[in-house]
Structure 1
Amino acid sequence: MLKFEQNIRGNVALGINPLGCKQEVLNQIDYVKNKGTYQGPKKVLIIGASSSYGLATRINLAFGAGADTIGVSFEKGPKNERNLGTAGWYNNIAFREAAEKDGLIAKNFVQDAFSHESKQEVIDYIKSEFGGKVDLVVYSLASGRRTDPDTGETYSSSIKAIGEPVVGPNINMQKQEFYTETLDPATDQEIHDTVKVMGGEDWQLWMEALKEADVLADEVLTTNYSYLGTELNHDYYGGGTLGRAKADCDEKADNINELLTDINGKALIVVATAVTTKASSVIPFFPVYCIGLYKVMAEKGTHETTIMHQDRIYREMIYGDKPEYDEVGRLRPDSWELDSDTQAKTKELILKLNEENFNSELTAYDIFYKEFSNLSGFMVDNYVDQEVTLEELKALKY
């Protein structure tokens, strides 16, 4: 029988608990079901569907709005006892099983979403087995590398400052350390490459391919998640390479809106709030911001996990009656985070942190660490330890 151990290197999770991943998916499904149903899209394509924002979006739309879904992601299954695959592999399986149990279509494409071949396979499936058209396309792909499907050149992203180095506090969860880090400024090439990987180019390629294939319904909506942050993280996020990539998404949204004019479609940038993801855990300084922010928001009753945030975005804002848009038309569910009192208290708290108190009751380190662990199937609510063999895991079908 397999034993699952949480193994962390720095702020990167190496170990996984496949059964815990399944329970976490079921917990998120229960959250949505307990909120009841709402009127939303019925045929949805989610690019980047296996974890964090993408997974939570898929769960919300399926079990809240009754949507059939297609999920595209690049994950790996189990090979041996030391390599059990990725958490997203098991998330995909758990979601499909639960959705099909409720009579919903839940097709998983596990492959490189950046390739032309993947786009064509999804299009062929929509035409042959998914009713011919989709009414919502969610782009939630997070990757550190991207191969341009036309040139074959591979680009790698860099999380760096622009112009001047940034110095600030960070956390090492593996060593339980609070330390000072220096973030070097990016070169022009690193800025360019980060935009190629994390910008909106692939989103636009997907929408062009779907439009050309005539698989987009009239009044189709496509969403892409962004993050702008505040003055507390501007130097390393909004003012860094990540910010340049997000700005490129804004530009590509304009291009997509023009592309969809004749079918009355819309491209919408959703500026999400700070949540715990595998990506946010490794952004320099960001964990410190999170443990301060979460403490303040938890006390105010406004802290959200990914499923809580996505449920509010789609149930209340996009398909509900409580939308909040900024002056350029972006949806702003991050308004709770940007609340002036919340930001002032977060700043005050962060300034008090040191190596002695960063993981004490003064902060929300416990919340951040638990949510980080949940991503790999550990510290999951309602989880009951079970026995499973490698062969049983290998027999699971995505």
Structure 2
Amino acid sequence: MTERHLTPGGRGFLMVNAHPRGAAATVDRLWQQLPQQESTEGRRPVVVVVGFSAGYGLAATLAAARRGAVGVGVAYEAAETPRRTASAGWYRAARTAELTDGWTFLNTDAFADTAKADVIKELTQRLGKVDHLIYSVAAPRRTDPVTGQVHHSVIQPVGQESTAKTLEFTDGVPTIGSSTLQPATDAEREATVKVMGGEDWHRWIDALAEAGLLADGFTTTALTYVGSDLTADIYRNGTIGAAKEHLEATAHQLGTRLADRGGRAFTAVAGAAVTQASTAIPSMALYTSLLHHVLGDAGFHTTARQMHALWLQLDGEQPLVLDETGRIRLDGWELDTTVQSRVRALWDRITTDNVTDHADSDWFRRQVGRLYGWNVSDTDYDVPSQTTVPWPTRTA
């Protein structure tokens, strides 16, 4: 067992060390935001969450557990080394296991066939057929299990270069800069679709179906994002957007396939959030800071709030909010025309000189720290922390 006096370290929005107690506390906060559903007799719903240890996947897992579901979570997190702590997701997984019951958490590459085999084994031996599969994966690379080829995702525009405003920090001081990205090649676009599109999602459903593990009325949902016109050139109209379009096309394919047994497949469009994936996208830091400035804490929907809303719709307690293409929409609070008009006005006038007047830059910086377990109130960072935490395999 190792105790260390930790400091965050890192560069930009990436930190080299996670704080175990702080990371656990962020899970506690999500848990407390979610209402507890009264327990009922009979079979508990079975849920598989692919990508459970961060962002919307974590919130979806906790929300499902709060509603009485059992299941399997899959994530790919880094263990502790002599030089670095384990990843924040590792510590979040450990705390999630302590809060939930009836869940198994696997640390494995979701893209690999072995991950699917491990989940099938757990379901066959313990839980039975699956009622819901939530797919929430953001990754920089994927090894194709059929060809062995490694595909790398890129964040680039398509068709022409794009320049966007950015929010940056120098010694903690916010500044407004810019980022110019060159257009992706066809090969880069296709590789990003291979990583972030719907191919792996489809393979998960194929594997469960072949194992006879899809319950009647099975529903699968992949989480996605649309966002504002302000970020569209780099996001929705870029390589990531191409992958999201493939994900949405996959939902239609899966929906057709599942319909004969009463099954469904959706993409659910979530609203903006500060996640490790979103901080890698140029302009998202500034956009999210402006959005929070416009909405405040009350109007800015947390991941927990949005995933609770998703489960209410998937379980039929509230009607599905679908757009014209059949996507579940959870982002109305963000894309409200009045909200977007106010964000755009701030975007057009913001400079380094007035950034703290028009954007919640300090809020954003704190939120980034919390992704790694830092900046969490009631966490004592001055005392050494136990960094050796075992990976949870199964909850009670």
TM-score of Structure 1 vs Structure 2, range by shorter chain: over 0.9
Alignment of 1:1-398 (within 5 A): 1-33=3-35, 37=38, 42-63=45-66, 65-80=67-82, 82-99=83-100, 104-130=101-127, 132-173=128-169, 175=171, 176-298=174-296, 301-315=298-312, 319-358=316-355, 360-385=356-381, 387=383, 393-395=388-390, 397-398=392-393
What is the CA–CA distance in structure 1 between the aligned matches of 2:56 and 2:278, rounded to whole Å? 12
What is the CA–CA distance in structure 1 between the aligned matches of 2:350 and 2:15, rounded to whole Å? 24
What is the CA–CA distance in structure 2 between the aligned matches of 1:7 and 1:288, rounded to whole Å? 22
**Structure 1 gaps, min length 5:** none
How far the C-alpha of 1:305 sits from its partner, in A, is: 2.1
- C-alpha deviations, 1:169-209, integer Å up to 9, x for none? 11223554321210111000000000000000000000011
Distance 1:135 1:386, change over 3 A: farther
- C-alpha deviations, 1:329-357, integer Å up to 9, x for none? 11111111110000000000111211122
How far the C-alpha of 1:77 sits from its partner, in A, is: 1.7
RMSD of Structure 2 on Structure 1 (CA)? 2.0
Structure 2 length normalisation: TM-score?
A: 0.92
Counterpart code for 1:88 = G
Decide whether the 8 Å contact of 1:200 with 1:249 is kept in 2: yes
**Structure with the larger RCO, 1 or 2 (CA within 8 Å, 6+ apart):** 2
Counterpart code for 2:235 = Y
How far the C-alpha of 1:257 sits from its partner, in A, is: 1.3
How far the C-alpha of 1:382 sits from its partner, in A, is: 3.6
Counterpart code for 1:380 = V
Counterpart code for 1:205 = R
Decide whether the 8 Å contact of 2:5 with 2:385 is kept in 1: no
How far the C-alpha of 1:366 sits from its partner, in A, is: 2.3
Identity among equivalent positions (%) equals 31
- C-alpha deviations, 1:11-70, integer Å up to 9, x for none? 22222101111111111111114x65599972100000111111111011101x111121
- C-alpha deviations, 1:210-258, integer Å up to 9, x for none? 0111111100110001111222221111111111000000111122112
Q: Tell me the number of residue pairs that the alignment of Structure 1 and Structure 2 aligns.
A: 387
- C-alpha deviations, 1:84-107, integer Å up to 9, x for none? 1111111111000111xxxx2120
Decide whether the 8 Å contact of 1:165 with 1:184 is kept in 2: yes
Distance 1:77 1:205, change over 3 A: same
What is the CA–CA distance in structure 1 between the aligned matches of 2:379 and 2:316, rounded to whole Å? 33
How far the C-alpha of 1:9 sits from its partner, in A, is: 0.9
Distance 1:170 1:211, change over 3 A: same
Distance 1:174 1:46, change over 3 A: farther
Distance 1:328 1:368, change over 3 A: same
How far the C-alpha of 1:308 sits from its partner, in A, is: 2.1
What is the CA–CA distance in structure 2 between the aligned matches of 1:395 and 1:330, rounded to whole Å? 38
What is the CA–CA distance in structure 2 between the aligned matches of 1:319 and 1:261, rounded to whole Å? 17
1:177 is paired with a residue whose SS is strand
Structure 1 length normalisation: TM-score?
A: 0.92
